[in-house]
Each structure stands twice: as structure tokens, then as C-alpha cells.
């Protein structure tokens, strides 16, 4: 596996522009940021960040492109997305390796993330023929009422490092078929994945003689504030921490824009005494250590029935003893690195805080610093027995720290599950139908995602993805999430030769 050759095939050079409208890559006055791989600490390549002039150039091209793109029939827009999906299929192996190498997730997860991009393109192609409105009966004779949906304009997409390509595609594929154009500000921790994606879509747009501003890229931390405060951008989709999400939400709302917020998660699995324990172990371990605990849907808490608590804890400890930590490009390894040393510091601080509050660690954590872990980003997945009210348990730590909590009754378990500020993903492991139905009922999980006999981690693109409370309330990907990218318009047509007023009002002249 030659990383240099892969980068070349994806259009990645030693130094790259981070500003693009389609295939037009702009040299800017911005500084260069170097992307380092958490796998080995090596510099991969550098990317030039956007300056003020570059930002304005991108926005001008996006505005021009929208005027054209909104008039293209939705199925024709779907055809462009279909071709993008095919281009991703051709580049799946290379892009998957880059995702793994730049972000640090396992190669299987990197390839799976690119497959999510392909899947959402397929979904969006079908959606392009299903942007349905409604017809309503008017109370006035010889009148017809209906509603239709129109594109909003420029959609700003601010994505996070942990899914450096998939979350962008969830937003972009839907936004495009809805008639919007997109401006993408990726994480500055994984800019090369974004540059590669822009090269792929730019070729599709060029081959179809489409305006370059349909897809734009802007790298740089300062870009986020510009997008949030730009009245030319009616919709901002932000994926990241709850802390930053509050800032984004306030800025966008102040100018009466809309936002889709996908923020923190503090996800729990309830392990019932009626659970299939072997299946539950698989779901719990992958949920907790997959992507080194850096998914917004990662399992943070296990709420375990007291009758099986010790048995399940022992199985879990045994399973953790079999985990292999190392290079994520080696498919024999289960756990790769954290994204950077700042994330490692947050991990160690969380462990220290947990111990101070009374957490009892049954699997100890720690930073791996031998010659095999030269990047300084590899840590040990750990397990602690805690109480749900501990301050550290109420927070989201983006690292493989798993908390164990004991319960007696299902009502108590659900209360514990719901007893955190976040509300993204949740699950119950049970073969008891009544328990499963109660968990999914109005008195059950308060999360946007609630699963039975699968874990919290991961989601299919066919369902709307998002959560409640401090997770932000946004929805992306499947179901009717497309409505978030459009504006609704109610229409009334009078085909009579009189003008009757609503509610029978008389206004004679």
C-alpha cells in the first residue's frame, strides 16, 4: 500500500490549495496548515487556507451557480449526483485509505465511510424524483390549494474530523438534488480528505459543463465564523461539539438563518437480564472502541441489570483483553489512534477527573508510548464503574472510555439513559418484547435514535440521523430530511370568475 501513489491518484500534492469552486483552485494569501497522520506522526501534505478575498470569490461563484442550478430539473440534478456516486466507486479504495491514514480510523471503517457516500448518492438519485408536495381542499369554490418546495440557495456545510467525508456527502447529495449549491468548510484536522473529494466532484461537474460554483471548498478555521454570519447563506449545517454548536446556532439565528445541528452524544446501551449476552458484548465493545471512541454515536455508558452485572462485567473485561491497538491500516488491529495529542490530553484529564469523583477502573487506561506508537496518539480503551450523576459521566469525552452503571428496574434504567444533557443514540439489549416496546414508547428513550438488539454506533443512510436536547435537534441523511434543505411554499389558484374571500368575508366595492 503506497500512500504516495494513492495521494497522487486523488490529486493530492505536497502543497495544495484549500479553496476551490469546482475545478478552479485558487491560490490565496492564507497560511499553510500541515496535515499530520495520527497513525505515525508523519506529515502528509500541506493545505493553504482561504483568506478574505478567496472567501468572497467563492461566494460570488456560488451565487452565480445557484441562479442556474435551481432551474435544472430535479431528475437532471439527480443524474449529476449519480455520476458522482460512480466516481466515488472508482476511487473507493484510495479515498478509504486516505480517510484511514489522515483521520486514524481502521481501514474497514474508512472504506465503509466512502460506501456511505456512495449509498447517499443512490438515495439522493431516487429522491430527485420524489420531492413531493401536497394538495389541499380550499374552502372557497373553484379554488385549488397546494404546497411545493423550492431550493434555499447556498448551503454552508461545516463538518468534523471524525467523519471527514461521509457527513459532508449526507448534506451535499440531498442539498444538490434539492437545487441548492454547497460551500464546504471541512475540519482543519483532516483537510486532505476534503481536497480529494473536491477533485472528484469537480471532474464530474466539468464533464457535464456545469457551473463550478455548485460545489465549493474553503479550508481554514476562520471560515466557519464567516459562514455562520453570512446572510447570503440561508442554511448552515454544523457537525461538532455542543459548545461550538451553541455559538453557531446563536450566530445563524441572529440573522434569521436556519441551522442543522449535529452535536454531542452521550450514548448508552441498557443490558437487560433478558439480553443475549454474547451479542451484547459485541455491540458494547465495538460501540465503545470503534474509531477509538471518536464517533458521536460511540457507546459511552452501559446500564446493566444488577442480576447479570458481575457476569457481564467479567465478559467485557475479558473482551478488552483481546483488543489489538495499532496501525489502523493493518486490518488485524481493532483500535487505532486518537486524532491528535490534544485529544490524548482530554482523554487523560477525563480519567483523572473520573478517579477524583470516585470512578473505579476495572480496565485501566493510559497512553501508549513505545516505539510502535511514535505519533503519541495511541491510548488504551478503559472501563470504569461509576454513578450516572458524576460530572465526567454527564460530559462527552471523545475517547474510548466506557462507564458501567447498575440498575434494578427498567424504569430506572430508562431514567438513567435519559439522565444526561445529550440525546443522540440509545439502545437496549433484550429478548423481552415488553421491555423493547417500552424502551421505544413515548415513555422510553428520549434520543433521536433508539435501537433494540443493536448498539448505538453507526446508522443507515435510509433513516434520518440526528438527536435531541444538547445534540441539537437536526436531521440529516434519509427519510424526509430533505425538507430541511428546502423552503415550503403554499399556493392557491382561483380558476373562477369571482373573487370570494376566505372565511366568507364580504368586501364589496
Q: For residues 329 and 347, what is the distance between their CA atoms, to the nearest angstrom? A: 23
Q: Which residues in the chain are classed under CATH 3.40.309.10?
A: 267-462
- Structure letter (DSSP) for residue 443: T
Predicted local confidence at residue 30, as pLDDT: 87
CA distances from 31 to 18, 433, 504 (A): 10, 58, 66
Separation of first and last alpha carbons in the chain:
82
- Which residues touch 318 (CB under 8 Å, ≥6 apart)? none
Predicted local confidence at residue 508, as pLDDT: 74
Q: What is the 3-state secondary structure (H, E, C) of 303-364?
A: EEECCCHHHHHHHHHHHHCCCCECCCCCCCCCECCCCCHHHHHHHHHHHHHHHHHCCEEEEC
**CA-based nearest residue to 55, from 26, 35, 81:** 26
Catalytic residue among 102, 212, 262, 470: 262
Collapsed DSSP state (helix, strand, coil) of residue 179: coil
- Structure letter (DSSP) for residue 30: P
CATH topology of domain 267-462: Aldehyde Dehydrogenase; Chain A, domain 2 (3.40.309)
Q: Which three cell numbers stand for residue 320?
A: 478488552
Collapsed DSSP state (helix, strand, coil) of residue 390: coil
- Residue located via cell numbers 486523488: 10
Please report which helix (H) or strand (E) contains residue 89, including its range: helix 74-103
User: Rg (Cα) of the chain, in Å, rounded?
Assistant: 24
Please check whether residue 103 is in contact with residue 193, taking contact to mean a CB–CB distance below 8 angstroms.
yes
Q: What angle do CA 391, 394, 399 make, to 5 degrees?
A: 100
Q: Which three cell numbers stand for residue 189?
A: 484536522
State how beta strands 425-429 and 267-271 pair.
parallel
CA distances from 298 to 55, 97, 285, 403, 499 (A): 35, 22, 10, 12, 59
Q: For residues 144 and 492, what is the distance between their CA atoms, to the nearest angstrom? A: 6
Q: Please list the pLDDT of the chain residue by residue as tens digits (509 residues).
A: 789 999 999 999 999 999 999 999 999 988 999 999 999 999 999 999 999 999 999 999 999 999 999 999 999 999 999 999 999 999 999 999 999 999 999 999 999 999 999 999 999 999 999 999 999 999 999 999 999 999 999 999 999 999 999 999 999 999 999 999 999 999 999 999 999 999 999 999 999 999 999 999 999 999 999 999 999 999 999 999 999 999 999 999 999 999 999 999 999 999 999 999 999 999 999 999 999 999 999 999 999 999 999 999 999 999 999 999 999 999 999 999 999 999 999 999 999 999 999 999 999 999 998 888 989 999 999 999 999 999 999 999 999 999 999 999 999 999 999 999 999 999 999 999 999 999 999 999 999 999 999 999 978 999 999 999 999 999 999 999 999 999 999 999 999 999 988 788 888 77
pTM for the model: 0.96
Q: What angle do CA 233, 221, 377 make, to 5 degrees?
A: 135
Q: Which residues in the chain are classed under CATH 3.40.605.10?
A: 3-263+472-489
- 262 is an active site residue: yes
Q: What angle do CA 452, 456, 461 make, to 5 degrees?
A: 90
3-263+472-489 CATH: 3.40.605.10
Size (the chain), residues: 509
b/e string for 379-410 if b means 16 or more Cβ within 10 A? bbbbbbebebebebbebbbbbbbbbbbbbeeb
Q: For residues 222 and 233, what is the distance between their CA atoms, to the nearest angstrom? A: 16
Please check whether residue 362 is in contact with residue 141, taking contact to mean a CB–CB distance below 8 angstroms.
no
Q: What are phi and psi of 486, to 5 degrees?
A: -135, 165
- Structure letter (DSSP) for residue 44: E
Please check whether residue 32 is in contact with residue 48, taking contact to mean a CB–CB distance below 8 angstroms.
yes
Predicted local confidence at residue 502, as pLDDT: 79
- Ranges of beta strands (E only) in 143-199 are 143-151, 154-158, 181-185
Q: For residues 272 and 120, what is the distance between their CA atoms, to the nearest angstrom? A: 34
Mean pLDDT of the chain: 97
Predicted local confidence at residue 346, as pLDDT: 98
Amino acid at each position: 500500500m503506497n500512500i504516495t501513489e494513492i495521494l497522487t491518484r486523488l490529486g493530492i500534492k505536497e502543497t495544495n490549495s484549500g479553496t476551490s469552486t469546482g475545478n478552479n483552485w485558487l491560490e490565496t494569501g492564507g497560511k499553510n496548515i500541515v496535515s499530520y497522520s495520527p497513525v505515525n506522526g508523519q506529515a502528509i501534505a500541506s493545505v493553504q487556507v482561504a483568506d478574505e478575498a478567496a472567501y468572497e470569490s467563492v461566494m460570488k461563484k456560488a451565487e452565480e451557480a445557484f441562479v442556474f442550478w435551481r432551474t435544472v430539473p430535479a431528475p437532471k440534478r439527480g443524474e449529476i449526483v449519480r455520476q458522482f456516486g460512480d466516481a466515488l466507486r472508482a476511487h473507493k479504495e484510495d479515498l478509504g485509505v486516505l480517510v484511514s491514514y489522515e483521520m486514524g480510523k481502521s481501514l474497514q471503517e474508512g472504506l465503509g465511510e466512502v460506501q456511505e457516500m456512495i449509498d447517499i448518492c443512490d438515495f439522493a438519485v431516487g429522491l430527485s424524483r420524489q420531492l413531493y408536495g401536497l394538495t389541499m381542499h380550499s374552502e372557497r369554490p373553484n379554488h385549488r390549494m397546494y404546497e411545493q418546495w423550492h431550493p434555499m440557495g447556498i448551503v454552508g456545510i461545516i463538518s468534523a474530523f471524525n467523519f471527514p467525508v461521509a457527513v459532508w456527502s449526507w448534506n451535499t447529495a440531498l442539498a444538490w438534488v434539492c437545487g441548492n449549491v454547497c460551500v464546504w468548510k471541512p475540519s482543519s484536522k483532516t483537510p486532505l480528505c476534503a481536497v480529494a473529494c473536491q477533485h472528484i466532484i469537480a471532474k464530474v461537474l466539468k464533464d457535464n459543463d456545469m457551473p463550478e460554483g455548485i460545489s465549493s471548498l474553503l479550508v481554514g478555521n476562520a471560515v466557519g465564523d464567516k459562514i455562520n454570519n453570512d446572510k447570503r447563506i440561508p442554511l448552515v449545517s454544523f457537525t461538532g461539539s455542543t459548545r461550538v454548536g451553541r455559538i453557531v446556532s446563536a450566530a445563524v439565528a441572529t440573522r434569521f438563518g436556519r441551522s442543522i445541528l449535529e452535536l454531542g452524544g452521550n450514548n448508552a446501551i441498557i443490558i437487560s437480564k433478558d439480553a443475549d449476552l454474547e451479542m451484547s458484548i459485541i455491540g458494547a465493545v465495538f460501540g465503545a472502541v470503534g474509531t477509538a471512541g471518536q464517533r458521536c454515536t460511540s457507546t459511552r455508558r452501559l446500564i446493566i441489570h444488577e442480576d447479570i452485572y458481575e457476569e457481564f462485567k467479567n465478559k467485557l473485561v475479558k473482551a478488552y483483553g483481546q483488543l489489538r491497538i495499532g496501525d489502523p491500516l493493518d486490518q488485524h488491529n481493532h483500535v487505532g489512534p486518537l486524532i491528535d495529542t490534544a485529544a490524548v490530553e482530554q482523554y487523560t484529564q477525563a480519567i483523572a477527573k473520573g478517579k477524583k469523583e470516585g470512578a473505579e477502573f476495572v480496565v485501566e487506561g493510559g497512553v501508549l508510548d513505545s516505539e510502535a506508537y511514535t505519533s503519541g496518539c495511541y491510548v488504551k480503551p478503559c472501563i470504569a464503574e461509576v454513578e450516572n450523576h458524576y460530572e465526567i459521566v454527564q460530559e462527552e469525552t471523545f475517547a474510548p472510555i466506557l462507564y458501567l452503571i447498575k440498575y434494578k428496574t427498567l424504569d430506572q434504567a430508562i431514567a438513567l439513559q435519559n439522565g444526561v444533557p445529550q440525546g443522540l443514540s440509545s439502545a437496549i439489549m433484550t429478548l423481552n418484547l415488553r421491555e423493547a416496546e417500552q424502551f421505544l414508547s413515548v415513555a422510553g428513550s428520549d434520543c433521536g435514535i433508539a435501537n433494540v438488539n443493536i448498539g448505538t454506533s453507526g446508522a443507515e443512510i435510509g433513516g434520518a440521523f440526528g438527536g435531541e436536547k444538547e445534540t441539537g435537534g437536526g436531521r440529516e441523511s434519509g427519510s424526509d430530511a430533505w425538507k430541511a434543505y428546502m423552503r415550503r411554499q403554499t399556493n392557491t389558484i382561483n380558476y373562477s370568475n369571482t373573487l370570494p374571500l376566505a372565511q366568507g368575508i364580504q368586501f364589496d366595492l
